[in-house]
Amino acid sequence: MQPLRARVHNGRIRLDEPSDLPEGTELDLLPVNLSDEFDDAERSEIIESIEAGAADIENGEFVDGLAFAKELISKRESQTR
């Protein structure tokens, strides 16, 4: 899924383009202001990284974080025995 871009208009958050999210989908939004901290090249690199990560998730190319942490703990415990 591509990141969604929205703007505030008259106190309401409005998406810049239509979405295929199911009706009633709840979203947690976090305002992001990249303009103060990064130049155009850095901002572009960040956005490309986010989009690449989203594509990886869509393609099933990710590792469950909790399972990965449990595997690391198990390996560490087996090494100390």
Q: pLDDT, tens digit, for every residue of 28-78?
A: 888 777 566 788 888 889 989 999 999 998 999 998 899 999 999 999 988
Please report whether residue 21 resides in a domain: yes
Count of Cβ atoms closer than 10 Å to residue 13 Cβ: 12
What is the count of structural domains for the chain? 1
Contact status, residue 47 vs residue 54, Cβ threshold 8 Å: no
Please report whether residue 1 resides in a domain: no
DSSP state of 48: H
Please report whether residue 44 resides in a domain: yes
Please report whether residue 59 resides in a domain: yes
Confidence label for 6 from pLDDT (cuts 50, 70 and 90)? confident
pTM over 0.75: no
Confidence label for 20 from pLDDT (cuts 50, 70 and 90)? confident
**Looking up tokens 């202001």, which residue turns up?**
33
Range of the domain at 17: 6-79
At residue 64, φ and ψ (nearest 5 deg) are -65, 125
Alpha helices in 1-81 (DSSP H): 40-58, 65-79
State the average pLDDT for the chain: 86
